[in-house]
Structure 1
Amino acid sequence: MDEIIFRSSQRLENVEMQVQLVSSKMKDLINAYLQQSRALIYQVWNSTKIEHMRLNMRELLNYLLAAAHDFKEKAVDVADPKRLYMFLKAFVGGRWSKREISLVCIGFLFGGLVGLTIGLSVRRKESTIRYMEAVQLNQYLGIESVAVVEDAIAPHECGDYDVLIDVKAASVQIIDAEICKGYGKTLRKILRRIFKQSSSDLPVILGRDCTGVITDLGEKIKRLEIGDEVWATVPFWSQGTLSQTVLLSENRVAKKPKNVGFEGACSIPYAGSIALSILNQAKLDVSNAEKKKIFIQGGCTPVGCLLIQILKHWKAEVVTSCCERAVPVAKALGAADIITLDTLEEFRSKIFLEHEYENNEHSNDQVDLIMLIKELELRGQQYDVIILTRNDRFNWKHLTRFCKKEKSIFSSLPPDLLSDSCGIIGRNLLSLYIKTKMIMQTILGAPLDDYDECHLCYETLNDLTHGVENGYLQNVVDKVFQPKNIEMALNHIQSSKSIGSSVITFR
């Protein structure tokens, strides 16, 4: 044991000596390097080139000082009133008196001041940043990520075909809740860049329609005037309307019906445009809808309320489903028959037994579908068209047996977008495809009506205005919220108990 300790101590001493030797050598190397560096710097500083450069810099500085001194003396001489007077007197050859020369000088001075004043008044004003209140989304994390901000940048300059609107009210739509979860984020980023709205998809201002008053418009717009009361719609990828001021293309704006207020009117533009688009897809119009039997699932959604009224005006027979609270509204709107979903709670346990759903493992969506099918079976009717306006996540095939012909089921809800799951490569390829397609459409003169744009235009809004002013379209507003209650509004519009539209007012 003692021998082991002795050998270990010897090894430690050897290591210690080697460390001291290495440190001593490192110290010597560093000192040598510092000495060489000092010698090199001294050699460079005292070289002929550096000395020549210092002399040149000194001469340049002396020259600049002398030039400044000469300029100062000449400026004083030139500015001397006596010298100026003598110069002018010699220039005019003694033909002008001292008084006349004084008047000329005063005239030059006065003219210069007037010109300076005019120039300052007509110079281009610097753009000022204005702020506004807006309902904004900064992350795609659901309804909880929505915030009301006071410092959103407000638009205030109109292009030739732009309209600036002071927003009075805007509605909340089901698609706004989907946007909070990331709906359309890829297309939003691509299209906002193409249409020069922004280089990013965030932040997003929610709201797909609004009512308000025009405060400014482009020089080439003839259809509208400042002070007009208007309503407007925008597609899912564009900045929204839940803000105090919006800047929109003229194509999105039309005059509001005169016989309805701002809050009531804003329940119609977006939902009505969707309703007319669905009817167009179903190839239904005033000429062929008479006596056809139409089933509307969710008749008291914003879209459902308008579909019932339009089809009633076209003399179609409308059957709809809604909650018990909404039955009086559905009847007043013109539904011929109503499936009251709340009463189906009485059949819930019975349906579970018949379909072996005792464990209640299936979602409410599937249960609602089963209950709806049960009621449709009890009625034993077939429909020319079935339109889904609420919760179309279930399989449509279950409803095809209630259609008179194939491909007669349509949905007004936002379709799933494959682009939302694209990676970086997929987004770049999609962006290239969209840009190429739009260039070709522009060259060929084809309308740029893709991506939820075709029906969101002033022509559709004019049709809705005609319907409201002629009395066959009524606004249905369930609740009016303040901007600070946006989460409550978004949750309410998704509830099966809601009736018609939920509105945010900015007045």
Structure 2
Amino acid sequence: MASTDELLFHISEKIDELQVQLSSSAAAARLSLQAGLTELRQTGGRLASGEVWQQAAQRWRLATAAAADRWTSLREFVSEFDVREFIETTRLLVLTEASTVHLCLLGAGFGAGLLVGYLVGRGRRVRTVRQPALMRAVICGTYEGLDGVLAVEDQPRPELVSPTEVLVRVKAATVDRVDLRIASGYGRALRRQVNRYNPHVDSELPVVLGRDLAGVVDQVGSEVTQWQVGDPVWAAVPFWRPGTLAEFVVLEEKELCRKPDAVTFERAAALPYSGTVAWNALVTQGGIGPDTAQDKRVLVHAAASGVGLVATQLLKAWGGHVTTTVSARLVPLARMLGADDVIEYDTADLEKELSLRDKFDLVLNTAGPSLHASCLRHCAETGLVVSTVEAAMPSDRFGFVLGTLYALWIRFTRLAGQVLFLPESWGTVTFSADTLAQLAALVDARELQAVVEHTFDWQDADAAFHYLARGDAVGKPVVSFRHLAPPQPVTEDGS
């Protein structure tokens, strides 16, 4: 019987021979196919005659024959390999050259592996997975407009991630007109990119709807100093953030403001988002504020909208002259809110009525692009036209290439904002607690009031969306979460 070294040398020699044969076969086949493809490109005009296909078939036959030869060689090698001889040689190798120490180490390693595997498997069997706490929420599951709006009971409840975050138990929230657009896909590209950096969002859909809320603090982070559990608060979030139509919402400490004491949660919920948009349109963009509104002539289109109601009251509280356009049935409401001049757009000739009046220092368009040309005609030469309707977002129609560049721009802008300590903002409106505090002071002073025509239970939120979509709603519909039972604590075994 051959020695161990001779056997191993023989096996190594055969394996090397087989590798050389297979390599040469693969190289030959690859070169043959490459040559065939090159010739196909050069002789495309001969495709109809069939000559090219004949040449390709010939090369394929050659490559197949070469591979068959190599396979035959492999089979011959395997047939010559004596398994019994190999086993016997291996046995002699173990008996004569493997020491007791080697065998002990092998046995110890095998036993340790079995023990570790057993412990890991046993740990996985007894460890239970903690089920996430759930909450009620109003979401859009698809971007199909009103058909995609759902009231669900199994939305994952958000948890505090940052030490500066606050968990708010929502008592009431509202449906804004921008929510109707979000349910149809508005801002989906921006939302998808920004939410990649939001630890509270796992996927693009579903999207929690709602833009403002009133509620109480339920839990605070370890570094929160301004709020305590039970404090009444209100807040507003932009369209690219997760919404507020849910039992619980997580916000940063600095985004919250104390709710005005003079109003209920339902009425308070109708003001933060619309109030912030109106404040931005008048003060930031229009240049008309508490100290500059005296004797300014301002036209507020669609004064019964959420923004129009707040803007009319702000201007009157600051001493401005307000002309509003409303439907005939809402004239008493406009008068009650302090409008100096009211135009019924559904019974009178709007253009004619406006032409009879002096031009305005500021025209606030809360209706939409259809009135933009009219707004320009009736604005003074030194005046301004400000629209509170969100402009269409080109990014919603970006393809792969532009979408990739847009994602890079979002990332760069976020990093630059973090380096410069700038607030994250992706629109013309900045939502801040400072603005909410000034609105709250006006509410407590009885100079600003919330107008709520209808309040819906959270289960009937789809009716609130249809009500707002009709186009004749007064203000914004409120969705109440006040009468829900407190959630049951979740045990470690998920029960």
Q: Which band: TM-score by shorter chain?
A: 0.7 to 0.9
- 2:359 paired residue number: 382
Query: TM-score with structure 1 length normalisation?
Result: 0.70
- 1:208 paired residue number: 211
- 2:381 paired residue number: 405
Query: TM-score with structure 2 length normalisation?
Result: 0.72
- 1:370-408 Cα shifts (integer Å, max 9, x gaps): x4223312x332111110112x13152233221112561
| Equivalent residue in structure 1 for 2:440, among 465, 489, 495 | 465
- SS of residue matched to 1:384: strand
Counterpart AA for 1:260: V
- 1:118-150 Cα shifts (integer Å, max 9, x gaps): xxxxxx998651011111112211111111121
Tell me the distance in 2 between the aligned counterparts of 1:343 and 1:242.
36
Question: Do residues 228 (structure 1) and 205 (structure 2) align?
Answer: no
Distance 1:44 1:232, change over 3 A: farther
Question: Do residues 289 (structure 1) and 305 (structure 2) align?
Answer: no
Written as runs of structure 1 = structure 2, the 5 A alignment for 1:151-190 is: 151-190=154-193
Gaps of 5+ in 2: 1-72, 112-126, 483-495
- 2:463 paired residue number: 488
Q: CA deviation at 1:204?
A: 0.6
- SS of residue matched to 1:134: strand
Tell me the distance in 1 between the aligned counterparts of 2:128 and 2:228.
25
Question: Do residues 333 (structure 1) and 337 (structure 2) align?
Answer: yes
Tell me the distance in 2 between the aligned counterparts of 1:50 and 1:299.
94
Written as runs of structure 1 = structure 2, the 5 A alignment for 1:228-377 is: 228-280=231-283, 281-344=285-348, 371-377=349-355
Tell me the distance in 2 between the aligned counterparts of 1:267 and 1:276.
15
The answer to whether the 8 A contact 2:167-2:250 is kept is: yes
Tell me the distance in 1 between the aligned counterparts of 2:334 and 2:291.
24
- 2:451 paired residue number: 476
- SS of residue matched to 2:369: coil
- SS of residue matched to 1:313: helix
RMSD (CA atoms): 3.1
Higher alpha-carbon deviation: 323-332 or 181-190: 323-332
The answer to whether the 8 A contact 2:365-2:372 is kept is: no
| Residue-pair matches, total | 390
The answer to whether the 8 A contact 2:161-2:199 is kept is: no
- SS of residue matched to 1:201: coil
The answer to whether the 8 A contact 1:158-1:164 is kept is: no
Question: Do residues 416 (structure 1) and 392 (structure 2) align?
Answer: yes
- 2:415 paired residue number: 439
The answer to whether the 8 A contact 1:207-1:241 is kept is: yes
The answer to whether the 8 A contact 2:361-2:382 is kept is: no
The answer to whether the 8 A contact 2:277-2:429 is kept is: no
Gaps of 5+ in 1: 1-35, 72-123, 345-370
Q: CA deviation at 1:273?
A: 0.5
Tell me the distance in 2 between the aligned counterparts of 1:232 and 1:55.
82
The answer to whether the 8 A contact 2:278-2:311 is kept is: yes
Q: CA deviation at 1:50?
A: 4.1
Tell me the distance in 1 between the aligned counterparts of 2:91 and 2:258.
77
Q: CA deviation at 1:245?
A: 0.8
Distance 1:38 1:160, change over 3 A: same
Counterpart AA for 1:315: G
- 1:74 paired residue number: none
Q: Rg: which structure is higher? A: 1
Distance 1:395 1:480, change over 3 A: closer
- 2:53 paired residue number: none
Q: CA deviation at 1:157?
A: 3.0
Tell me the distance in 1 between the aligned counterparts of 2:381 and 2:184.
36
